[in-house]
Amino acid sequence: MTSELPEMRASDAERERVAESLRDAVAEGRLDMEEFENRLDAAYKARTHGELEPLVRDLPAPGTFQSAVPAPAVKGGWAERIGGTVSSSGAFAFWGGFSRKGPWTVGPRFTAFAMMGGGEIDLREARFADRDVVIRCFAFMGGMGVIVPPDLTVVVKGIGIMGGFGDDATGEGTPGSPRVTVTGFALMGGVGVERKITRAERQRLKEAKKAERKELG
């Protein structure tokens, strides 16, 4: 975005457009995850156009530049990751923990409960039984983390009571993405929702950067 009035107040829609550009950039390998997270945080905190513009100044408009070394096609694109038999519709932890990660299939409604324990719900390699998914998280004197990929549409509506329900993920995904709504509440505990790329993708980005540095001499 460009503006002749950098002091002009930014709108929620303008902040979201910048956030979407940043998500496109990390998905294309233009930003590493640390840069993405720092810029995304700054975008949502920005009050003026002057604060937003530097966050995307060094990024091309989505789809206007094709890298000389194209990223490999994502294994299991959205069309291939929607549908199938539900492998888990809930999780429970009491004085212990639970984990849902890898190539599992989340149902249209997934309910997670943690009391004096913890849990992890990782959707980065998951399939989705339905295009619209609701994940309900209830944490009592415990903690829970929901990890989503950068290109997934996410809405967070949870409530914290003497605890926290963190939202570092609300935003639109890429075309064809499922819509995941994370709701529930945390009582004297915490629930966090954040975007992360997979370890394999992080490694691919590192190798691409090394190759780029090598080419530049």
Return the SS3 of 53. helix
Q: Residue 95 — left, alpha, or beta (φ > 0 → left; ψ -120 to 50 → alpha)?
A: left
Question: Range with the lowest mean pLDDT among 22-26, 115-119, 128-132?
Answer: 22-26
- For residue 69, count other CB atoms closer than 10 A to its CB: 10
Largest Cα–Cα separation, the chain: 57
Quick one: tokens of 55?
């966050």
Domain regions of the chain by residue span? 1-66, 78-199
- Residues 46, 41: Cα–Cα separation, whole Å: 9
CA 75 to chain centre: 18
CB of 133 within 8 A of CB of 181?
Answer: yes
Q: Quickly state the pLDDT bin for 67 (edges 50, 70, 90).
A: very low
Question: Range with the lowest mean pLDDT among 24-33, 55-64, 114-123?
Answer: 55-64
CB of 115 within 8 A of CB of 93?
Answer: yes
Residue written as token pair 């994940």: 135
Quick one: tokens of 103?
């190539």
Please, what is the average pLDDT of the chain? 82
Of the ranges 124-138, 165-179, 198-212, the best mean pLDDT one:
124-138
Whether pTM > 0.95 for this model: the answer is no
Instruction: Inform me whether the pLDDT recorded for 105 exceeds 90.
Output: yes
pLDDT at 95: 87
